[in-house]
A and B are shown apart, each in its own frame.
Chain A
Amino acid sequence: MGESLPDVPGGDQERGAAFRRPVRTLRVKMVLLGGSGVGKSSLALRFGKDEFRSTSPTVGCAYLTRVVHLSEVTLRFEIWDTAGQEKYHSVTPLYYRGAHAALLVYDISSRESFIRAQLWLKELEKQSVPGSTLTWLVGNKGDLDQDRQVSAQEGKKLAKDRSLFFTETSALSGDQVNELMLDVAHRVYEHVGEEQGGLTEWKETLPEEMYHRDTSNPLSSCCKVGP
């Protein structure tokens, strides 16, 4: 398929990789949401560097980028890894506003985090233009199967009811993480695509107004959320 997920240790190499290819690079805004300690940063780290390290709680929000090459296009994911802690909730709308993709992460070994994810879903639905954000429900910590409190069926059911995509991952082992990333890339490109003017092209020095266009003018594309 010509897709690849190269090891991308840093921003600079990313740029190099992007420019060797003759295809266009489109920007995708993705946000990670969920309760505290469910593994959002660990997932982000897997996306970015394919590493696992135990991290300290995210302060505010972390921004990282990740390039995914599809056969006909290169997508530059701009990932907003938000803090799960309640005190930062008031600023979180900044990050999911205008996002093309949202990952609602919970910890399969914590029922509480599953309920938290649903609260986040409500927030997200309330704030965003319907259909503008493709949303995934992600049950993380798949490696803790022995302590599971939320069954895969339950996750699937919720996802189906609310028209979300669903997957279970393990940031620790890396299981299903790349698959998730590719799935997001494909679906965002198909649904939002640049045809509708949903994705902007990425230039080496990104002018500031691109960001503003991205956020202040949430996509009014026609695609539907969900399978």
Chain B
Amino acid sequence: MKEYNFAYLDEQTKRMIRRAILKGLAIPGYQVPFASREMPMPYGWGTGGVQVSAAVLTPDDTLKVIDQGADDTTNAVSIRRFFQRTAGVDVTEKTGEASVIQTRHRIPEQALREGQIIVYQVPIPEPLRFLEPSEVETRKMHALEDYGLMHVKLYEDISQHGDIATAYAYPVKVEGRYVMDPSPIPKFDNPKLDMAAIQLFGAGREQRIYALPPYTKVVSLDFDDYPFQPTKADHACALCGSTTSYLDELITDDAGGRMFICSDTDYCATRVEDAA
């Protein structure tokens, strides 16, 4: 602990990030530029999420870190250890016991409550980026609320695949104003974006922070005749039997053997324990 300032970052950096978070909360869905720092991990490993977490953590917090729903994968373990070492905070794998949850590409199955904070790691914060490579242009499109291009993309999905094929990072509209990338969560998780917890999004390489205050109206883009549909593998979890949770497909041998298990390891383990 003595080797680092609390939560690793220096105070000047934390103030800069904190100001960006407040602006993000004041303008839900708008991507606030911030001066992202080099972190002791490569871009793409959650440098944005880590900086946001460092700026909001207090010594009283209990931190949970998940990677694709799992507490025990490399990314989650290393970020959890990072904050144990640099902030001295308690850590947990229980969704209900955490006050701050940093996540890569999932929202926990258990509904989050008021007072909790969920921090998303975001690779590409700009939902229009793959449609329009110019930052000058996408910024203008957000300013003018010109989101026709996004609807064309979803329409082309339908005309090519017969359905909206976008399965993750499914674009949403926030409070009827900004189109936002919810980070690469499966579209199964999109309905949960309407929640009681504070949601913060950090993109380190792209230097953007955005936020959703609790109870913000978040609508997944769709068409009247092709309404938004959250999808999941049509199976029950092989471990806990849940038919309502998001599932990972696991290849078990070279002969086509496979099983489906919950992506949220805490949810699954809790159900298995309760059943035993």
Answer yes or no: do A and B interact. Answer: no
Instruction: List residues of B whose CB falls within 8 A of some A CB.
Output: none
